[in-house]
Amino acid sequence: PVLLLVAFSAVIPLMTVVNYSVQDTFGNNEFFWAGTEWFKEVLESDRFHESLLRNLAFSALVLLIQIPLGILVALSMPRRGVWVSVCLVLMALPLLIPWNVVGTIWQVFGRSDIGMLGRGLNALGWDYNYGQDPFDAWVTVILMDVWHWTSLVVLLCYAGLVSIPDAYYQAARIDGASKWSVFRYIQFPKMGRVLQIAVLLRFMDSFMIYTEPFVVTGGGPGSATTFLSIDLVKTAIGQFDLGPAAAMSIIYFLIVLLVSWIFFTVTTNAAAERS
């Protein structure tokens, strides 16, 4: 039953995309063999390269912000007492909000006429308008993703911290270790596994982001926030180019799979060498 479920939910839709990626159609449900034509077209397209660079830049920026911020917040959270539950609930709240609702919240929040963020920045002298300025659009999308997903990093890091036995801290106190030494030699190494999961999950989520920036900016202004996912939907639905869209989706999938495999392999080997 498990194999059948996996085949139905993953393999069969994937094979449908593979089928479209090597064929062409002129309508009337008539298909013609195209081979690797669509893959060459996508890989040689400047539009695809630009969208890929935007995705990589976005993933790098959010990881550079969310991982250190998540570690810092997790270190600041209490380990015992009633405030533990309060902090965990507050941290989990952004993760419970649907992605399209997050986009709608930040779409209103960032408006320069009625949004608190937009009006506040304009009052400080920043001519902020995410609908017309590409830099403002990037700032808005990054802030939105940080607000939405840093909690995941916090919860994972916190789980790693509370699993550290007290004996390590007692030995550190006896040796007179500073807070930085405790973090460097005890907390950070013990959080290695959960940080690996956090980085991997956040890379995959950020690289495949679609709903939030589409709701806020629609991929604009111009194509400033048109990531691969948005470009793929525009190609498949807006232009109804099923062949190029199918080829792009397979290339997209292979990039995510390859980068995730490389990251997991490198981090696993590094952890094995340290131990």
Show pLDDT as tens, one digit a residue, over the chain (275 residues): 777 777 777 777 788 888 888 888 766 777 788 889 999 999 999 999 999 999 999 999 999 999 999 999 999 999 888 889 999 999 999 999 999 999 999 999 999 889 999 999 999 999 999 999 999 999 999 999 999 999 999 999 999 999 999 999 999 999 899 999 999 999 998 888 899 899 999 999 999 999 999 999 999 898 999 999 999 999 988 888 888 999 999 999 999 989 888 888 887 787 677 66
The crossing angle, in degrees rounded to 10, of helices 99-109 and 116-123 is 30
Contact criterion met (CB below 8 Å) for 230 and 213 = yes
Domain presence at residue 206: yes
Same domain for 17 and 60, yes or no, is no
Same domain for 145 and 177, yes or no, is yes
Same domain for 135 and 88, yes or no, is yes
Same domain for 89 and 157, yes or no, is yes
DSSP helix/strand/coil, 101: helix
Same domain for 229 and 99, yes or no, is yes
How far apart CA 219 and CA 197 sit, in angstroms, is 29
Contact criterion met (CB below 8 Å) for 145 and 62 = yes
Domain presence at residue 105: yes
Listed in sequence order, the residues at least 6 apart from 46 whose beta carbon sits closer than 8 Å to its beta carbon are none
Same domain for 153 and 187, yes or no, is yes
Structural domains of the chain, count:
2
Domain presence at residue 40: no
Domain presence at residue 41: no
27: left (phi over 0), alpha (psi -120 to 50) or beta: left
Same domain for 26 and 117, yes or no, is no
Residue with the two structure tokens 């006896």: 174
DSSP helix/strand/coil, 21: helix
How far apart CA 201 and CA 251 sit, in angstroms, is 19
133: left (phi over 0), alpha (psi -120 to 50) or beta: beta
* Length of the chain as a residue count: 275
Domain presence at residue 224: yes
* Domain boundaries, position 12: 1-35
Same domain for 14 and 110, yes or no, is no
| DSSP for residue 163 | T
Q: Which of 255, 263, 269 is nearest to 42 (CA)?
A: 255
**The amino acid at 24:** D
Same domain for 151 and 28, yes or no, is no
Tokens representing 85 are 């539950």
Contact criterion met (CB below 8 Å) for 87 and 77 = yes
Same domain for 97 and 139, yes or no, is yes
Same domain for 29 and 80, yes or no, is no
Tokens representing 105 are 């919240």
Contact criterion met (CB below 8 Å) for 108 and 114 = yes
Same domain for 28 and 77, yes or no, is no
